[in-house]
Amino acid sequence: MSAGVERSPADEHVVLGKLTSPYGVKGWLKVYSYTSPMEGILEYDEWVLRHEGRLERFRLSQGRPQGKGLVARLEGVDGREQAEALAGAEVLLPTAELPELDGDDDFYWYQLEGLRVVTREGVTLGQVDYLFETGANDVLVVKGRGEDAVDDRERLLPFLPDEVVLEVDLEAGVMTVDWDPDF
């Protein structure tokens, strides 16, 4: 499973990260990356920034790890004031530019978020709200939502294909799992 990107409200983009604040006085910005590994965001030469309701394209001129995070410099952003104006912007990527995944059990997280989760017996547990990494495996956070959900509980399910996650049908919007609803 490939981790790390979040779905944008606009169907044609995924959110790769966020520009948090200026770094220095020469136009550099601190970057919070949702990609895994975090440096993956720096592999894309062009970023679409969503800020204050508008989209704008920028070319990435430089980027590097800095401390425990990342910093980046965008073409045309040459000073601290310009960088401050972009603080808080989301870094988007058109879904068409995402790399192809290797196997049938590989998914981007945004593809799984919102799927209805049902047990092999047909009991609806809810919807995938979000995912997170634990080191051992990725974890699905399933929230009991909708009229057909068995309850309103939040469940943490390991993303283990063929063990817990039996089938993912993206077209139908359903994930079938081997999970006891009482657990």
Strand partners, 66: 69
| pLDDT tens digits, 28-66 | 999 999 988 999 999 999 999 999 999 999 999 999 999
Which of 21-30, 58-67, 76-85, 105-114 has the lowest average pLDDT? 105-114
Global pTM?
Answer: 0.69
Domains of the chain: 6-96 (2.40.30.60), 109-177 (2.30.30.240)
For 83-95, give one letter per residue: b (16+ CB within 10 A) or e. Answer: beebeebbbbbeb
**Mean pLDDT value across residues 98-105:** 79
- For residue 21, CA distances in Å to 49, 53, 79, 91, 153 come to 14, 18, 13, 13, 37
**Mean pLDDT value across residues 121-147:** 92
**Cis upstream peptide for 37 (omega within 30°):** yes
